[in-house]
Amino acid sequence: MGSYTLDFQDTATAFADKSDSELKEKYRLFKILNSPFLNNLGTRAATFALSLGLPVKGLIKSTIYEQFCGGETIEECSGTVDRLGRSGIGSILDYSVEGKSTEEDFERTKNEIIRTVEHAKDDPNIPFAVFKMSGVAPLGTLEKMSNKKRLDAKGQAKCERIHNRVNEICEFAHSIGQPIFIDAEETWIQDAIDRLATEMMEKYNRDSVIVYNTIQLYRKDRLAFLKQARRRAHDERYFYGVKLVRGAYMEKERERASELGYESPIQDDKAGTDRDFDAAVEYCVRHLDDVSFVAGTHNEKSTQKLVGLMQDKQILPSHPRIHFSQLYGMSDNLSYVLAKHGYNVSKYVPYGPVADAVPYLVRRAEENTSVAGQVSRELVLIETELKRRGAY
């Protein structure tokens, strides 16, 4: 491994586009997120208040929503997209409406996703589009499909409609040459997602990578799945697109496994997840001739490792088949420093009506307290920068 490293403690670069008051606001918010009690109290109160129709939308929008979301509509995100773009960071507009259940809702979400694909095509600052399968499909049907259960006529019709929606999105993305991610979700619906994603790749990745599947490496079986999926793409002569992440549903997965009495699909410890994530990155780098990948990580060591690997193999920072990605509002030290040194990096920018985005925000808040030290690191960096500016 080469000695080439980036200075991810460079807070002047990380927060260059934040004013003192914006930085102080961010500090206050992360301070709340860092307290499990306040965090829990806040997220429960927000969900409860919204369910009662209390007028808390403005408060949520001006605090946690503003930190982690780009706006309520595609148009409202333009300021965020431009601001990130000025620092050389791309945006991935993620329509964060979850938990819908009617066919009308699924159609509406599909149409909105197609709008984000179209919008991305016209904006050089938006390298990818993205969607969640659960946004366009009923969870129950995805679960039955994943368990390979026989579907009755009604289930078959739902399955067909899911297939048509997914195909419509990917076909449109292909027709305008706009790459798109299909996000990973819970294990009990992931098999259906993988099969649909594979079918879309077979169909639309013949000349270049349009469709990317997502692999969560906190699962014990995913490194093997990655290799098998890449080999299949190679044999069937299509390009393989993949976004590598550690994973977002750990507590939920472990709880369900324990409740239903099956072995947890999640790695026994963080070291196992880190090991498989880094191995997956190395595998993709080895197969760059037919793989395009995105390292979606907030982990400094993994980011540094990929930078070093690229340096060792004399791969240019701007290589079109290697991208880095972080969530909007987090790990600016990684995103901004990578961009400054010419690496392809983008932020996931969630958007959607405040009330609809609350499940996403609750998950972010829960994730922040469960990811050991992540919020503390954010706080230390913000504090360092405020002191450097003499604004602490």
What average pLDDT does the segment 275-304 reach?
97
Token pair recorded at residue 372: 């050991």
Residue 368, pLDDT above cutoff 60: no
Cross-strand partners of 347: 91, 326
Are the beta carbons of 323 and 16 closer than 8 angstroms?
Answer: no
Token pair recorded at residue 236: 């069937």
SS3 370: helix
Any idea which residue has 């997120």 for tokens?
33
| Beta carbons within 8 Å of 388's beta carbon, 6+ residues apart | 11, 12
Phi, psi torsion values for 180, nearest 5 degrees:
-140, 140
Which stretch of DSSP H or E encloses residue 325?
A: strand 322-327
The CA distance from 180 to 171, in Å, is 11
According to the model, what pLDDT value does residue 371 have?
54
**HSE (CB half, 13 Å, CA atoms) of 355?**
11
- CB atoms near residue 161 (< 10 Å): 18
- State how far Cα 172 lies from the chain centre: 21
| Beta carbons within 8 Å of 53's beta carbon, 6+ residues apart | none
The CA distance from 182 to 135, in Å, is 11
Between residues 367 and 273, which one has the greater pLDDT?
A: 273
Token pair recorded at residue 251: 């507590």
CA dihedral of 376, 69, 40, 248, whole degrees rounded to 10: -70
Helix segments in the chain, DSSP class H: 11-14, 20-33, 36-51, 57-60, 66-68, 78-86, 103-121, 139-146, 153-175, 187-204, 222-236, 250-260, 270-286, 300-312, 332-340, 354-370, 374-388
Residue 3, pLDDT above cutoff 60: no
According to the model, what pLDDT value does residue 376 have?
82
According to the model, what pLDDT value does residue 290 have?
95
Are the beta carbons of 173 and 118 closer than 8 angstroms?
Answer: no
pLDDT in tens, 74-132: 999 999 999 999 999 999 999 988 778 899 999 999 999 999 999 999 899 999 999 99
pLDDT in tens, 175-222: 999 999 999 999 999 999 999 999 999 999 999 999 999 999 999 999
Cross-strand partners of 296: 325
What average pLDDT does the segment 328-351 reach?
97
DSSP, residue by residue, 121-166: HT-TT---EEE-GGGSS-HHHHHHHHTTPPP-HHHHHHHHHHHHHH
- What integer best gives the mean pLDDT of the chain? 92
The CA distance from 245 to 247, in Å, is 6
Helix axes 222-236, 187-204, angle to 10 degrees: 20
Phi, psi torsion values for 320, nearest 5 degrees:
-65, -15
Are the beta carbons of 153 and 100 closer than 8 angstroms?
Answer: no
The CA distance from 97 to 354, in Å, is 10
The CA distance from 80 to 223, in Å, is 35
pLDDT in tens, 213-235: 999 999 999 999 999 999 999 99
**HSE (CB half, 13 Å, CA atoms) of 95?**
30
Q: Which CATH architecture has domain 72-356?
A: Alpha-Beta Barrel (3.20)
3-state secondary structure 177-195: CCCEEECCCCHHHHHHHHH
